[in-house]
Amino acid sequence: MFKAMYNQAKLSFTVEPVTPLLIRSGREAFDPTRPDLEFIRIGSPYGQVVYIPGSSIKGVMRSYAEKILRTLGLWTCDISETKGSCAEKKQTEGKFPYEKHCYACRTFGSTELASRLRIVDAYPWRWDMTEGQRRESLARIKTDLRPGVAIDRKKGTVKAGPFELEVVSTGTFYGDILLRNFQLWQLALVALVVRDIDEGYQQLGLAKSRGLGRVRFKVDSLELMQLGPLFQREEICGVGEVEGLNDCYDLIKEDMMDKPSKLQTAPDGLFRRRFIPGEGDKSEEVWAEFAKALLKSQNWQNLLKEGKKIGNYP
Ligand SMILES: [Zn+2]
């Protein structure tokens, strides 16, 4: 769907561990000098470095977003069960599979539908930092080893272990959340997920139930872009404002809001209109103001009022 581009959002975020964080690499450690459960690494100009794959953040964001949608009584499938998930139903019938997908799949995608949302891998530096800043940022990352055991639930004895967990205890990871051709309610949903992860209601990585993975999760810069038919619009618009799309895609109505005071806008001469924080305004505060406004937007209110309910859908 949406072969053209109408709008884009880039939310640059930081992840900082509050309690030790372990994002596990898929491969087993055969090297006996390495810990049993290693933090995932990737090759970089600075050698092998720890990082957080976008997919592991996206997975956590999706399952948390599903919980929010279900709590609001809105249509959400369960992708962990093949039976009953949107992808499992015959989505290819008909021209517009988008409208046959639940609100979670419409945002995070399914095997039959491309995702509106992408997450760029989070590295221990931001790519626009100077060489010196990158090295400094990388030097702030500290890894530790923690002993771990698996307890037999019935007997209360040690079932496996002790083994070693490699965790990151300090430092900052930098990544981006990208949304393309979104409706305002989807950005509002992302804002709720980001808020709750930052407040500690959802952890990242392994051994969450044992206290690991509590992080600070902050949007520290943002940029919105409107193109094509939305290029001239000075309000912030979702794709619901593009004429003719509503009927094809079963979009939520009234997909626009006034620009928050701290976002500046101008066409930038390249046939796109950008919205960015005003000079001297802290991006974090701009995001906080914007996130609040999104939850008051008519589009989010309409989703709550008129969105398809769990009970109405098979
Ligand atoms: Zn679904």
pLDDT tier, 23 (very low <50, low <70, confident <90, very high otherwise): very high
pLDDT confidence bin for 113, thresholds 50/70/90 = confident
Q: Measured in angstroms, how far is the CA atom of residue 85 from the centroid of ligand 1?
A: 5
The domains of the chain are located at 7-308
Q: What is the pLDDT of residues 48-75, one digit of tens each?
A: 999 999 999 999 999 999 999 999 999 9
Residue 94 confidence (pLDDT): 62
**pLDDT at residue 91, as a whole number:** 55
Q: What is the mean pLDDT of residues 252-267?
A: 92
Dist. CA 268 → ligand 1 center (Å): 37
Higher pLDDT, 279 or 199: 199
Centroid of ligand 1 to alpha carbon of 312 (angstroms) = 14
* Residue 98 confidence class, pLDDT cut points 50, 70, 90: confident
Q: Ligand 1 centre from 111 Cα, in Å?
A: 10
d(CA 139, ligand 1 centre) in Å: 42
Q: Would you say how long the chain is, in residues?
A: 314
Report the share of the chain in percent with pLDDT over 70.
Answer: 93
**Least reliable range by pLDDT among 84-88, 236-240, 299-303:** 84-88
Distance 118 CA to ligand 1 centre (A): 17
Residue 101 CA, ligand 1 centroid: distance in Å: 5
Q: What is the mean pLDDT of residues 75-83?
A: 75
Ranking 13-27, 57-71, 163-177, 294-308 by mean pLDDT, the lowest is 13-27
pLDDT of residue 81: 66
C-alpha closest to that of 209 among 160, 150, 154, 143: 150
Of residues 231 and 149, more confidence is placed in 231
